[in-house]
Structure 1
Amino acid sequence: MMKLYKLLSFSFLVATLTSCTFTENMYVNDNGSGKFSVDIDGSALMEMAGDQLGNQMGADAKKNIDSTFTFKQLIAEKQDSISKLSPEAQKEIKKLENFVFNIKMNGEQKQFLMNIATDFKSVSELQDILQSMSTLQKLEGGTAPATPFAGLGDNKSKLSYTYDGKKFTRKAIIDKQKLAEKPADSTADMSKMMFASSNYVIKYHFPKRVKKVSNPNALFSEDRKTITIQYPFTDYMENPDKLNFDVEFEK
């Protein structure tokens, strides 16, 4: 079995070398609890260069992979490095303890899928959760994110969600101080590679029928309980407030 960080390094390579589809999923229950996940589909690179990448990864990569681990395991393995971080950074990383990471790779089907997921008791628990991912970058000395999801928190905004049964809001506020900071070359280069032709899809599932969405590009499921909105990945990274919207529900 491949070591954890070898697998993560390979998944990061896939995410940065090809156009990917990032899908932010949320399932909300009547009581406001639910499940949040982010999926990355990097199958395009497997289609183009699966054999070459498999050779780089060795014999294990030629087998079908379906591997799952918790961020709690990752945090435990890197505890020495984490203890050297600031209290604020340690607090951010602790938010990720309940996330589960899954990676699937199938050479014959040219499939490469990654997923992180967590349950929540209230959508308010998800505040800045993607921004917490960027803190993982510090575990590798700041040279590269520890997972391909780490770059998702590097869009210089603060993200929050609210839900009261009548209305749901997704809101990102630009952090002007971070916006003024010059990014490290490695981060900028990574972002440019991912920007090119990737998409960011929001897919939210609600317990009630949706009356209206403030974003005119929203698509509805047949029962009007699921909305889907697709954005260029450049909007997510460079103009995150474009992804803000409100959802109102039928009575």
Structure 2
Amino acid sequence: MKLYKLLSFSFLLATLTSCTFTENIYVSDNGTGKFALDMDGSALMEMAGDQLGSQMGADAKKNIDSTFTFKQLLADKKDSIAKLSPEVQNEIKKLEDLTVNLKMNGEKKEFLMAFSKDFKNVNELQDVLQAMSTLQKLEGGSNASNPFAGGLGKNNSTLSYTYDGNKFTRKAIIDKQKSAEKAKDSAADMSNMIFASSNYILKYHFPKRIKKVSNPSALFSDDRKSITLQYSFTDYMENPDKLNFDVEFEK
């Protein structure tokens, strides 16, 4: 199965049932680190794994364990990408160094997809799910047959991360105009129903002990160097600023 088809179908699965998204960030002393976003859609495999084969074709009869980079995937779409605006091309180019690992096992009722990348500074990071939604432009915009058109990750915000050794910040700024337009879209109500039972979990790991976190719901690891926060995926989609927080470290 071609890489793009494989990834597209995987995102289609994610829009059909409850999933757990886990965003991990590992920060080292010098500010470098690793980002990972894991998506667990095994609930769909549990409910409808036997029916997926007919949708995916002969490839679905085999268990899938595939690892590839977005650079490989986008190489197949270079002609289509060249026709897009410079702004959109830049958004898509940021995905090139993402590594994707996809595991699908019908017998074990397993469906896991993981995106990861190393970074030199947290301010390099972007909202991977939202950036992924730009790929719909490669398949004719919001065509109903396009799995990216469902809006997975399109929460109309700009996400940024900062870290200076003393403080870490995760901040999403909402585009109020786009959010107002989305509120009028009947498709948004359908998205809310689909994602109502999905979760978005943040797990951040730091080289220093944490003094305090602005969000009182944060759970600390035993060594106080990691925190975990859990939200509904509806919060991520409709109120992304609810996922904002600051972390201050002990000196």
TM score, norm. by length of structure 1: 0.91
- Equivalent in the alignment of 2:104: 105
- Whole-Å separation in 2 of the counterparts to 1:72 and 1:84: 18
- Equivalent in the alignment of 1:151: 152
- 1:26/1:214 CA distance change after superposition, 3 Å: same
Contact 1:15 1:194 in 2 (8 A): no
* Cα distance, 1:145 vs structure 2: 4.9
Letter in 2 for 1:11: S
* Cα distance, 1:13 vs structure 2: 2.5
Q: Deviations over 1:110-151 (max 9, x none)?
A: 110001111110001114554422211211111235599x72
Contact 1:9 1:147 in 2 (8 A): no
- Whole-Å separation in 1 of the counterparts to 2:222 and 2:126: 30
Contact 2:17 2:195 in 1 (8 A): no
- 1:186/1:179 CA distance change after superposition, 3 Å: closer
Structure 2: tracts of 5 or more residues without a match: none
What root-mean-square deviation, in Å, do the aligned CA atoms of Structure 1 and Structure 2 show? 2.2
- Whole-Å separation in 2 of the counterparts to 1:46 and 1:145: 18
- 1:220/1:147 CA distance change after superposition, 3 Å: farther
* Residues 1:137 and 2:136 aligned together: yes
| 1:184-195 aligned within 5 A | 188=188, 191-195=191-195
- Equivalent in the alignment of 2:92: 93
Aligned length: 248
Contact 2:4 2:73 in 1 (8 A): no
- 1:75/1:147 CA distance change after superposition, 3 Å: farther
- Whole-Å separation in 1 of the counterparts to 2:89 and 2:190: 24
SS of aligned partner of 2:5: helix
Structure 1: tracts of 5 or more residues without a match: none
SS of aligned partner of 1:17: coil
- Whole-Å separation in 2 of the counterparts to 1:12 and 1:190: 16
SS of aligned partner of 2:15: helix
Contact 1:22 1:201 in 2 (8 A): yes
- Whole-Å separation in 2 of the counterparts to 1:236 and 1:43: 20
| 1:106-121 aligned within 5 A | 106-121=105-120
- Whole-Å separation in 2 of the counterparts to 1:111 and 1:168: 34
Letter in 1 for 2:38: D
* Cα distance, 1:28 vs structure 2: 0.6
- Equivalent in the alignment of 2:245: 245
| 1:44-55 aligned within 5 A | 44-55=43-54
Q: Deviations over 1:185-230 (max 9, x none)?
A: 6963773354221011011111111111111111111111111100
- 1:131/1:5 CA distance change after superposition, 3 Å: closer
TM score, norm. by length of structure 2: 0.91
- Equivalent in the alignment of 1:77: 76
